[in-house]
Amino acid sequence: MILQSIWFFLWGLLWAVFFITDGFDFGVGTLYPFLGKSDQDKRVMIHSLGPLWDGNEVWLITAGGVTFAAFPLVYATMFSSLYTALMLILFALILRGVSFEFRGKVDSPAWRRLWDGCIFIGSAAPAILFGVAFANIFAGLPLDENHLFQGNLLTLLNPYGLLGGVLFLCFFLVHGALWLAIRADGDLQQRAVKSANRVWPVLLIVAVAFLLFSAKATPLYRNYLAHPALFLVILATVAGLLGIRFFLSKQAYFRAWLSSALTIAGATFYGVVGLFPNLLPSSINAEYSLTAFNASSSPLTLKIMLMVVLLFIPVVLVYQIWAYGLFTRKVTQEDLDLDVAY
């Protein structure tokens, strides 16, 4: 029981870290056609992500791998149920990844426009689709007694799911704009700050709407009412939201970005603690839900994997923090001139 519960929250934590890290990549990529006025701007935007996006994306691989290892039935059901949505995300991520590498390799405007388009779609689509997918998980999927998904892509595009998509997009737009405010200077930085200021009120409204809609569309609040201390998670999320605004006005962009990270982690855990112990609740019958207890791996596997994760994830954090330390300063002309760079 304890082991399975630990894994449940680790599972949530890995998704949260993925959303925090790759989230600003999605944001910058979505803002890319709007803020990148000149080729120089565009290159600075790509460079602001260049050294980090690949390592960030591995959090997704790890979240997926851990779902497979710790909750095989969830992995099997989640990804086969969300087949088309996941395929769209994968294609988007594929295009985004190669675009960074390909774009600068041929000196032709049409060539660059092609990959510019891919960067935008490859960033905006996953931002929205992850939101749609997770909102649907919060609300429950139509799973029958054999955990078979009785629906299709359109089932997922319900109002609550779509609101989740908009919410995630807003999170990542703010997160990305703040990241750009850290790494760019001059006009580009100013435009990034302006975007963050403009999207923030929208985010606030959508977030509140999502919290209210969740009461109607999901059983998430049951856990909150049973354990009122959990409302602290929502409080932390709101504190992060307000922190963004506060630090933005102080021009403390890194702190604003950290606040945004707190908001994203808070929002993820808002769903995760509400779901517990369900990983994939069934909207047909609560009995058919996949939970941390009925869908987990054997205790031996959970133990071994826990040791692996406790041993290696701290090591990963050490070198990722080192990488962030190297690449949170302003992108300089010297960086752009590197002949192996993008």
Partner 1 sequence: MDPVFLSRLQFTATTMFHFLFVPLTLGLSVLVAYMEVRYARTGDETYLRMTKFWGKLFLINFAVGVVTGITLEFQFGTNWSQYSGFVGDIFGSLLAIEASVAFFLESTLIGIWIFGWKKLSRMAHAVVMCLVAAGSNISALWILIANSWMQHPVGFVFNNGRAELNDFAAVVFNKFAVLQFLHVVPAAFVLAAFFVMGISAYHLYKKQHIDLFTRSFKIALVFGLIASIWVAVEGDQHAVYVTETQPTKLAAMEAHWDTQTKAPMVLFAIPDEKNERNLVEFGKVPGALSLLGYHDINAEVKGLNDIPKEDRPPVLITFLAFRIMVAIGTLLPLLTLIGLFIKNRLVENRWYLVIMMAAIPLPYIANQAGWLLAEVGRQPWIVYGLMRTSDAASPVSAVQVISSLVAFILVYGLLGSVGYYLIGKKAVMGPGPVEAV
Positions touching partner 1 (CB under 8 A) are: 47, 50-55, 57-58, 60-62, 64-73, 75-80, 83-84, 86-87, 90-91, 93-95, 97-98, 100-102, 105-106, 148-149, 297-298, 300-301, 304-305, 308-309, 312-313, 316, 319-320, 322-323, 326-327, 334-335, 338-342
Q: How far is the CB of 70 from partner 1 (least distance, A)?
A: 8
Nearer Cβ to partner 1, position 215 or 310?
310
CB of 161 to partner 1, least distance (A): 18
- Do residues 332 and 183 make contact, with C-beta atoms less than 8 angstroms apart? no
Nearer to partner 1 by C-beta: 33 or 55?
55
* Residue whose CB is less far from partner 1, 14 or 220: 14
DSSP string, 66-117: HHHHH-HHHHHHHHHHTHHHHHHHHHHHHHHHHHHHHHTTS--HHHHHHHHH
Closer of 20 and 93 to partner 1 (Cβ): 93
Q: How far is the CB of 98 from partner 1 (least distance, A)?
A: 5
CB of 301 to partner 1, least distance (A): 5
The type of residue at 132 is V
Instruction: Count CB-CB contacts under 10 A for residue 213.
Output: 18
CA-wise closest residue to 276 among 66, 5, 14, 1: 5
Q: Give the CA angle between residues 77, 78, 82 to the nearest 5°.
A: 110
* Upper half-sphere CA count for residue 276 (Cβ side, 13 Å): 22
Nearest to 11 by CA among 136, 151, 134, 157: 134
What whole-number distance in Å separates Cα of residue 161 and Cα of residue 254?
A: 31
Looking at beta carbons only, is 134 or 210 nearer to partner 1?
Answer: 134
Cβ 279 to partner 1, closest distance in Å?
Answer: 13
Cβ of residue 322: shortest distance to partner 1, in angstroms?
8
The residues, ordered by sequence, that sit 6+ positions from 26 with a Cβ below 8 Å of its Cβ are 123, 124, 126, 127, 172, 176
- Of the pair 204, 306, the CB lying nearest partner 1 is at 306
Smallest separation, CB 31 to partner 1 (Å):
21
SS3 for 196-211 is HHHHHHHHHHHHHHHH
What is the total residue count of the chain? Answer: 342
Nearer to partner 1, 33 or 64 (CB): 64
CB of 223 to partner 1, least distance (A): 26
Cα–Cα distance for residue pair 179/181, rounded to 1 Å: 5
